[in-house]
Structure 1
C-alpha cells in the first residue's frame, strides 16, 4: 500500500519492472494523480531480486555526474564506468569484460597511436557515422553524448543513461513540452502540400 493506494504485489512488480526497463530511476506510485516516489528498500519483499538490483543500479548510475560517466565501447558489454580521479584517463580496462579501450576516444584501445593520430587516421569512419546520423535525424544525448535513434512513437525519449529529452529539438523533456522546432513545421507543411497536390 502506498499512502491510500493499494496494489497487489504482482501488479507493482510488473509496473516497477516496466519503469526500470524504460530507464526510469525515480519510480512514482502508479496511481495517476499520485507523485510519491517509490524506494527500492521498501519493496524488497515483493519484488524479484533482479528487479531490485537493476533499479538500484539505475538510481546509482543517474546519481553520477555526466562528465564522470562513460560506457564500455564494446557492443556486447556497454558496462558503466566512472572516472573518479582528477587525472585525464586514456588507456582503461573495462572491469566487466576486461578489454582495453581509450577513455578519451571512447573506442577499443588504439595501441601506440596518440588520440589525435587515431582520430585523423579514422576520420572517414567517423564522418560516415555522423553523415548517417544526420541523414536519419538521430539525436545526441546531451548528458552522455550517445546517439539515439527513434523508430516510432512520440518525441519523448529516455536515453540509456536515464536522461529524458525531446527527440525533435533535443531539449530536456518536461511534462507538457511542446516542440517549437521549425524543421518539424516545415516537414508537416511539406507532407501536407505533397498530399494535397
Structure 2
C-alpha cells in the first residue's frame, strides 16, 4: 500500500495486476524455494501464470536456476521421469525415446542401474525374477542385500552398521543371527 513510482512496479503481461518490484521478487523467491512448479500472479484469487521472462532481472542466479529447473521439470510427463536409484546421486533422467528402457548408465555418477526396477543393475536376473526372489515385493536394495548376503554397511558419514538388525558394526558383530559377512 506504499506509494511507488511506475518504474518501481512490475506489471504481469498475462493479467492486469501490478506489484512493486520488491514484493514481486519476494513472492517468486518464496514460491521457488517451496518448489512450486508454476508461479502465479501474487494477486488474491488470480491464477494467471507470472511472466517469467519479464521479471528475470529481479532475481539472483541461484533463484533463476531453481526456477528454470522447476519450469523444465513441469514440462516433462511423469511417465517419462526416471531417477538414479543411488542415494548419493538421485538425478532425474528423462526417457523420451518412447521405448522401454532396462539397463541404463547414469550420466552423472556413471553407475549402471535397471530403469524398470529402479535399483542397481541386476544382470543375473530378469526384472520379474528379481522381484520374485524373496516371494514378496520388497524394495530392490533389500533384495540385492538378501541375494548378495552382505549386511556390513558403511554410511557416507563413515558410520558402520548391520543392514539386517540396524546395530553398530564391530568385529564381534559376525555373531549376529542375521549377518552373513
Check whether TM > 0.5. Answer: yes
Question: Does 2:70 match 1:58?
Answer: yes
Is residue 19–residue 27 contact of structure 1 (8 Å, CA) maintained in 2?
yes
- Residues 71 and 46 (structure 1), Cα distance of their counterparts in 2 relative to 1, 3 Å cut: same
> Distance in 1 between the 2:98 and 2:47 partners?
38
Deviation, 1:113, is 1.7
> How do residues 1-150 of structure 1 correspond to structure 2 at under 5 angstroms?
1-2=10-11, 3-9=16-22, 11-122=23-134, 123=136, 125-126=138-139
> Distance in 2 between the 1:8 and 1:86 partners?
43
Count the aligned residue pairs. 127
Is residue 13–residue 48 contact of structure 1 (8 Å, CA) maintained in 2?
no
TM-score, structure 2 as length reference: 0.61
Give the secondary structure class of the aligned counterpart of 2:138: helix
More helix by share: 1
- Residues 47 and 93 (structure 1), Cα distance of their counterparts in 2 relative to 1, 3 Å cut: same
Is residue 29–residue 36 contact of structure 1 (8 Å, CA) maintained in 2?
yes
* Higher relative contact order, structure no. (Cα contacts within 8 Å, ≥ 6 residues apart): 1
Q: Which has the larger radius of gyration?
A: 2
